[in-house]
């Protein structure tokens, strides 16, 4: 009977990073990417984090556009109310009449574009 030598795992003298194992630096900004807190930043966690960030960006964009649409709507109403106040002389209204038309078209364009865009986006999902 021959005695076969036992195969032992080689103990490497290389450092962790040289063997292909990667570590984050101390207090890395990417530590938050370890969502489940197991000390490993997996591809799945990176993908999840990316998806979350994209969703947040989309939400911020949607919020800004909604605010703009509201501002346009409120602006039109305030402007209309302001023009009917007695402090606004008739002569000035006559001079600026063409400009007022453009103002309403511009403001309602923003509101309409917002409505159309949100309807299109919700239909696309
Ligand atoms: Ca993890």
Query: Domain spans of the chain?
Result: 29-124
C-alpha 50 – ligand 1 centre gap (Å): 14
Write down the pTM of the prediction: 0.63
Cα 73 to averaged position of ligand 1 atoms, centre (Å): 47
Question: How is residue 37 written in tokens?
Answer: 């807190």
Sequence-separated (6 or more) residues with CB below 8 Å from residue 52: none
pLDDT of residue 72: 95
CA of 44 to the centre of ligand 1 (A): 9
For residue 46, how far is the Cα from the chain centroid?
17
Q: Please list all protein residues whose beta carbon sits less than 5 angstroms from ligand 1, which is an ion.
A: 34, 36, 38, 40
Give the rounded percent of residues in the chain with a pLDDT score beyond 70. 86
Residue owning tokens 């930043």: 41
Q: What is the arithmetic mean of pLDDT over 66-74? A: 95
Closest CA to 31 of 51, 49, 52: 49
pLDDT for 1 equals 60
Question: 92: pLDDT confidence band, cut at 50, 70 and 90?
Answer: confident
Q: Lowest-confidence range among 5-14, 34-43, 60-69, 116-125?
A: 5-14
Q: Ligand 1 mean position to 91 CA, how many Å?
A: 71
pLDDT digits (tens, 9 = 90+) for 95-119: 888 899 999 999 999 999 999 999 9
* CA 92 / ligand 1 centre spacing (Å): 67
| Residue 18 CA, ligand 1 centroid: distance in Å | 22
């Amino acid at each position: 009977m021959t005695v076969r030598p036992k195969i032992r795992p080689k103990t490497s003298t290389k450092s962790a990073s040289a063997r292909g194992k990667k570590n984050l630096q101390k207090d890395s900004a990417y530590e938050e990417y370890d969502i489940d807190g197991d000390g490993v930043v997996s591809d799945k966690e990176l993908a999840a984090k990316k998806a979350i960030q994209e969703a947040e960006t989309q939400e911020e964009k949607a919020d800004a556009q909604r605010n703009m649409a509201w501002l346009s709507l409120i602006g039109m109403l305030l402007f209309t109310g302001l023009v009917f106040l007695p402090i606004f002389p008739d002569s000035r209204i006559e001079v600026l009449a063409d400009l007022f038309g453009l103002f309403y078209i511009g403001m309602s364009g923003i509101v309409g574009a917002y409505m159309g865009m949100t309807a299109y986006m919700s239909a696309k999902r």
